[in-house]
Amino acid sequence: MAPLIGIVASIEAGEGVGSERYFAGGNYVSAVVEAGGIPLILPFVREKDAIQHQVRTVDGILLIGGYDVDPLVFGEEPHANVGPVFPERDEYELAVIEEAKAQQKPILGICRGLQVINIAFGGTLYQDLSQVSGTVLQHRQPSRGHVAGHSAEVVAGTMLEKILGVTQLRTNSHHHQAIKSVAQDFVINARARDGVVEGIESESANILGVQWHPEMMYRHFPEMLKVFHWLVEEAGREK
Ligand code: MN
């Protein structure tokens, strides 16, 4: 059977008080299918046993985009531009990452997913790109999701370079936060021209993170599916 990819659900406040929704955007689901995986959306649960079982059930983990991580998670007070936070999602994703690492399951993190991975392994974030000194490009593009907004330089010798087969690409950009200090044992695998980190990875932990949204681009730029192919292939590897 094709590998099962656990897509960790986003949380959003629904209509009315107390009616949260747990969901994943359709592009993530279809990108996993297109890459040969079987998607399974994993909703927030609190019990450690349940999380262990969820992770055991799947072969790989996809962490998707969404609202900002609560800055208190990495020991900072919230910057004025931080959006709504969902502390239960932060807590759940951190637990899923810990469990996936223990079970040696590959992880692909997209946008917020990359940021959570960085925090999970001890890195920090700029809570808002206004905190980055020097020139900053447009990282919150008003253009449609599949449109390439800025260039990214892929670092030679990284997994990402092997996966994509290029050292230059153009990506969409839908973020106002970015990686500040990179987690230990991780390396930067892509940067925008203004120096903003656009990807990190740990080859030993089999974890890949990108700051852009390949799931919004792959129908127009087929090479963007390669990161999903990587996840599905790694998930399908015999342990
Ligand atoms: Mn960007």
Question: Residue 180 and residue 38: Cα distance in Å, rounded?
Answer: 34
Q: Which of 120, 122, 125, 123 is nearest to 95 (CA)?
A: 120
Give this prediction's pTM: 0.97
Residue carrying the six token digits 């609202």:
67
Residue numbers annotated as active site = 111, 213, 215
CA 95 – CA 219 distance, rounded (Å): 32
| Residuewise pLDDT in 10s, the chain (239 residues) | 899 999 999 999 988 777 899 999 999 999 999 999 999 999 999 999 999 999 999 999 999 999 999 999 999 999 999 999 999 999 999 999 999 999 999 999 999 999 999 999 999 999 999 999 887 899 999 999 999 999 999 999 999 999 999 999 999 999 999 999 999 999 999 999 999 999 999 999 999 999 999 999 999 999 999 999 999 999 999 76
Cα–Cα distance measured from residue 190 to residue 187, given in angstroms and rounded to the nearest whole number: 9
Map tokens 């209509």 to a residue: 15
Cα 21 to averaged position of ligand 1 atoms, centre (Å): 27
Q: Quote the ligand 1 centre to 50 CA distance (angstroms).
A: 35
What does the alpha-carbon distance between residue 147 and residue 142 come to, in Å, rounded to a whole number?
10
How deeply is 133 buried, as exposed, middle or buried, from its count of CB atoms within 10 A (0-12, 13-18, 19+)? exposed
Ligand 1: centre distance to CA 169 (Å): 12
Instruction: Find the 168 Cα to ligand 1 centroid distance in Å.
Output: 14
**CA of residue 93 to ligand 1 center, whole Å:** 22
Instruction: Give the whole-angstrom CA distance, residue 156 versus residue 228.
Output: 20
Cα separation values, 164 from 119, 148, 169, 202, 234, Å = 25, 16, 9, 16, 15
Q: How far is the CA of 53 from the centre of ligand 1 (A)?
A: 35
Q: What is the pLDDT of residue 239?
A: 65
**Predicted pLDDT of residue 151:** 97
